[in-house]
């Protein structure tokens, strides 16, 4: 019970020390140097507050109040908390990996180049883009404004989050009165962010429908990057 009380006191001490560091940084102003100092000093103050609160609790509540006894018990509490934190992080990582989830889901920013036959009215009214994987299905956010290429073709821009670890990802474009067009995302299961867009890729699959009308210029293409 003594160790539980010590851990709780340590948590309160860490929070209090971190809050004190934040108030000191705020009183000094909002410059970048003060913010950097808080980022460095805040965690150190939290650790110092935790250890101090644990040692003080063991001194006041424990049977062995000698310096050596308090130091040994304080070290034991710190190691215990570290082991619990490491175990919890390991379980979280294993659970996310087992479920195919990503701890911090990245997003794909895409640009879909459309043929000259596509009209801006159709795009703004009924265009839909979604991400299909073997794990989930997610609607993409499409920008309101359309960009045009040098040859006058409209470019549909948007982004969609990547919530699962999988290499089976397809971006599906749906336009009114046309067949769905699917683009395969050539990305690893856990992709890294990229600063530049990749090369243009043509349609990988076209899903025909009874209501789809023929399109004379089927030059849809996509390029993307990971945010």
Q: Domain check: are 66 and 155 in the same one?
A: no
Two structure tokens written together for 184: 């395969």
Residues of the chain predicted below pLDDT 50: 211-217
Rounded Cα gap, residues 1 and 3, in angstroms:
5
* Residue 221 and residue 113 share a domain: yes
Instruction: Write out the residue range of the structural domain in which residue 39 sits.
Output: 2-99
Which residues have a Cβ under 8 Å from the Cβ of 132 and sit 6 or more positions away? 169, 170, 171, 172, 182
Q: Do 93 and 136 sit in the same domain of this protein?
A: no
The predicted structure's pLDDT at residue 215: 46
Residues 93 and 127 in one domain: no
59 in the same domain as 16: yes
Q: Are residues 48 and 79 in the same domain?
A: yes
- According to the model, what pLDDT value does residue 208 have? 65
Which candidate, 39, 41, 47, 40, places its Cα nearest to that of 14?
47
Tokens of 116: 């000259």
Res 10: pLDDT: 79
Into how many domains does the chain fold?
A: 2
Describe the strand order of the beta sheet including 128-133 as a list of residue ranges: 137-139, 128-133, 169-174, 180-184, 205-207
Q: Do 111 and 222 reside in the same domain of the chain?
A: yes
pLDDT tens track for 127-137? 899 999 988 89
Q: What DSSP state is assigned to residue 218?
A: -
């Amino acid at each position: 019970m003594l160790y539980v009380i010590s851990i709780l006191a340590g948590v309160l001490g860490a929070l209090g020390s971190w809050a004190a560091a934040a108030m000191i940084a705020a009183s000094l102003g909002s410059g970048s140097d003060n913010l950097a100092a808080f980022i460095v000093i805040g965690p150190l103050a939290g650790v110092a507050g935790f250890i101090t609160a644990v040692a003080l609790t063991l001194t006041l509540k424990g049977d062995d109040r000698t310096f050596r006894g308090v130091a040994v018990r304080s070290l034991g509490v710190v190691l215990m908390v570290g082991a619990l934190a490491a175990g919890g992080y390991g379980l979280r990582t294993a659970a996310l990996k087992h479920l195919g989830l990503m701890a911090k889901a990245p997003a794909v920013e895409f640009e879909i180049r459309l043929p000259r036959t596509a009209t801006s009215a159709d795009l703004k009214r009924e265009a839909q883009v979604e991400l299909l994987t073997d794990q989930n299905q997610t609607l993409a956010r499409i920008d309101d404004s359309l960009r045009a290429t040098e040859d006058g073709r409209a470019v549909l821009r948007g982004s969609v989050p990547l919530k699962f670890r999988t290499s089976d990802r397809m971006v599906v474009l749906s336009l009114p009165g046309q067949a769905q067009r699917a683009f395969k995302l050539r990305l690893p299961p856990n992709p890294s962010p990229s600063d530049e867009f990749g090369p243009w890729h043509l349609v990988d699959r076209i899903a025909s429908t009874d209501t789809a009308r023929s399109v004379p210029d089927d030059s849809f293409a996509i390029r993307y990057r990971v945010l």
